């Protein structure tokens, strides 16, 4: 293993993989350390929506540039990632949700994103055979979707092809500092001297930050996803209804989820960080289901002095596979069959779950950390970082190589938490 690097990237999800790719393309010597046996966690498990629609205005310039990148990624990375620019349709079952969409339209207009509100009779033109008593919908034809595993692997492979060194099964155990700046890292495969570390560790970033005395508020929520058996082709549009979100894959199967309903496994961190997240829980209480059980006990056991978690905080629960919620799988399949009644009866081929890392204001943490020179955070993508991954990676590379990213990322600064400058979430999806 390399003993020296210009940059060490922690995590080979879509964010870390993209950062390594854009850095390597600029001639930077990069080592990516990934504690899992494959690149990425959430990045492999998500719905695959690449959505500009409904975003917090602060994210719009980034996600629109990301969309431009996605359109050319298959060519650029030389890989099939099942990219489809089929649009995104958000459905409203009541006037309140429709009013939220209406309130978001000025954002689309401000940024020049083609988006229309649709009346019920216009919905069928977007998704043939769509059924249901909808009040209306919001349609963004330029949105798309892609295969999460293929896209994540493609970035990791392309980074390696451009000279990045990808170390799988190699957890970062510590970042070493000297005089307030990064000096190197300690990994399972040895030490690397480096002046720059990019933390793209997804849901584990809070722990990594804590080892450096930094308090990064990140909430974990468990999202359940399933894949159906195959069906005749119906639509290329990704659809987000209150009871089910779905996209049809190239082989005809559907990726489905319970339309944004999430499980929250209470842990010690949820209690520690309650003050950051309480307003958001309250606002979205219909979407969350709280579970007090094994994860809380595990986090209490982990906090015991001398526990494996205390001795090796960044390694001990590697390979954690959260359980999918079977009720959500059943409900989302039933909702899919109601929304698209022409489909034959479908079964579930596979279901899985992933922990989402969310910031209190539901926008990422992206940029340098003032307290520690050379430490760059690219994390807390709050359930929509698959779409943002390519641009987040490119901006990280620009920040490191040029000293300044090409888009304004000041709104994503880590210091906003300490400053108390956390705005209310302004996304509508």
Ligand X SMILES: Cc1cc2nc3c(=O)[nH]c(=O)nc-3n(C[C@H](O)[C@H](O)[C@H](O)COP(=O)(O)OP(=O)(O)OC[C@H]3O[C@@H](n4cnc5c(N)ncnc54)[C@H](O)[C@@H]3O)c2cc1C
* Span interacting with ligand X, options 29-37, 154-162, 398-406, 410-418, rule CB under 6 A: 29-37
Instruction: Supply the minimum distance, in Å, between the C-beta of residue 121 and ligand X.
Output: 28
- By CB under 6 A, is residue 172 in contact with ligand X? yes
Name which of 89 and 208 has its Cβ closer to ligand X. 208
Q: State how far the Cα of 380 lies from the Cα of 42, in Å rounded to an integer.
A: 11
CB of 281 or CB of 316, closer to ligand X: 316
Residue 384 contacts ligand X per CB under 6 A? yes
Asked if residue 13 binds ligand X (CB under 6 A), the reply is yes
Q: Provide the β-strand partners of residue 84.
A: 145
Q: Interaction with ligand X in 96-155: which residues (CB under 6 A)?
A: none
Among 87, 136, 137, 223, which residue interacts with ligand X (rule: CB under 6 A)? Answer: 223
Question: Does residue 84 bind ligand X (CB under 6 A)?
Answer: no
Which DSSP symbol is given to 78? T
Q: Interacting stretch for ligand X, rule CB under 6 A, among 93-101, 177-185, 280-288, 382-390?
A: 382-390
Beta bridge partners of 376: 198, 368
What count of other Cβ atoms lies within 10 Å of the Cβ of residue 424?
11
Which part of the chain contacts ligand X (CB under 6 A), choosing from 4-12, 178-186, 281-289, 365-373? 4-12
The pair phi, psi for residue 376, each rounded to 5°, is -115, 130
Query: Does 47 sit near ligand X (CB under 6 A)?
Result: yes
Nearer Cβ to ligand X (25/247): 247
User: Of 13-21, 155-163, 405-413, 421-429, which segment contacts ligand X by CB under 6 A?
Assistant: 13-21
Cα–Cα dist 205/355, whole Å: 13
Count of chain residues binding ligand X (CB under 6 A): 41
Q: Is 171 in the site for ligand X (CB under 6 A)?
A: yes
Distance CA 12, CA 34 (A): 6
Q: What is the CA radius of gyration of the chain?
A: 21
d(CA 304, CA 302): 6
What are the distances in angstroms from CA 378 to CA 144, 184, 226, 307, 312? 23, 18, 28, 29, 22
Residue 11 as a binder of ligand X (CB under 6 A): the answer is yes
Question: Quick check: 41 binds ligand X (CB under 6 A)?
Answer: yes
Q: Which residue lies nearer to ligand X by CB, 273 or 379? A: 379
Q: Is there binding between residue 34 and ligand X (CB under 6 A)?
A: yes
Phi, psi of 137 (to 5 degrees): -155, 175
Closest CA to 34 of 175, 156, 161, 183: 156
Closest to ligand X by CB, 25 or 328? 328
Do the beta carbons of residue 382 and residue 356 sit within 8 Å? yes
Return the structure tokens found at 331: 């409900």
Residue 120 CB, shortest distance to ligand X, in Å, is: 25
By C-beta, is 155 or 179 nearer to ligand X? 155
Separation of alpha carbons 147 and 165, rounded Å: 24
d(CA 418, CA 315): 28
Q: Report the interface residues with ligand X, using CB under 6 A.
A: 10-16, 33-36, 40-43, 45-49, 171-172, 200-204, 208, 223, 225, 314, 354, 356, 379, 381, 383-387, 389
């Amino acid at each position: 293993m390399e003993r020296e690097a210009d940059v060490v990237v922690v995590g080979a999800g879509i964010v870390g993989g993209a950062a390594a790719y854009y850095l390597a393309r600029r001639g930077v010597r990069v080592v990516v350390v990934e504690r899992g046996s494959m690149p990425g966690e959430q990045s492999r498990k998500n719905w695959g929506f690449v959505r500009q629609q409904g975003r917090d205005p602060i994210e719009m310039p980034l996600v629109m540039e990301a969309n431009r990148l996605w359109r050319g990624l298959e060519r650029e990375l030389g890989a099939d990632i099942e990219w489809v620019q089929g649009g995104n349709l958000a459905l409203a079952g009541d006037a309140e949700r429709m009013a939220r969409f209406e309130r978001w339209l000025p954002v689309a207009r401000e940024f020049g994103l083609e988006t229309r509100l649709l009346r019920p009779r216009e919905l069928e033109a977007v998704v043939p055979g769509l059924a249901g008593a909808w009040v209306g919908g919001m349609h963004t034809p330029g949105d798309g979707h892609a295969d999460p595993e293929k896209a994540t692997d493609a970035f990791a492979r392309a980074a390696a092809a451009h000279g990045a060194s990808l170390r799988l099964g190699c957890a970062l155990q510590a970042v070493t500092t000297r005089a307030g700046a990064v000096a190197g890292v300690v990994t399972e495969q040895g030490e690397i001297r480096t002046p720059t570390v990019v933390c793209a560790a997804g849901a584990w970033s809070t722990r990594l930050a804590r080892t450096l005395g930094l308090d990064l508020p990140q909430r974990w929520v468990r999202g359940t996803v399933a894949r159906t058996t195959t069906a005749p082709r119906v639509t290329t549009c990704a659809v987000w209804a209150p009871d089910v979100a779905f996209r049809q894959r190239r082989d005809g199967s559907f990726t489905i989820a319970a339309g944004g309903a999430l499980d929250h496994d209470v842990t010690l961190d949820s209690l520690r960080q309650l003050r950051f997240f309480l307003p958001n829980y309250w606002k979205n209480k219909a979407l969350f289901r709280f579970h007090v059980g094994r994860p809380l006990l595990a986090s209490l056991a982990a906090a015991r002095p001398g526990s494996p978690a205390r001795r090796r905080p960044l390694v001990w629960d590697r390979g954690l596979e959260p359980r999918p919620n079977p009720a959500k799988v059943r409900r989302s399949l039933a909702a899919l069959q109601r929304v698209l009644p022409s489909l034959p009866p479908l079964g579930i081929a596979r279901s899985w779950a992933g922990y989402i890392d969310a910031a209190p204001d539901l926008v990422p943490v992206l940029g340098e950390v003032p307290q520690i020179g050379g430490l760059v955070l690219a994390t807390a993508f709050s359930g929509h970082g698959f779409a943002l991954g390519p641009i987040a990676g490119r901006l990280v590379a620009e920040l490191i190589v040029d000293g300044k990213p090409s888009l304004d990322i000041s709104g994503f600064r880590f210091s906003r938490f300490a400053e108390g400058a956390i705005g209310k979430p302004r996304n509508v999806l």
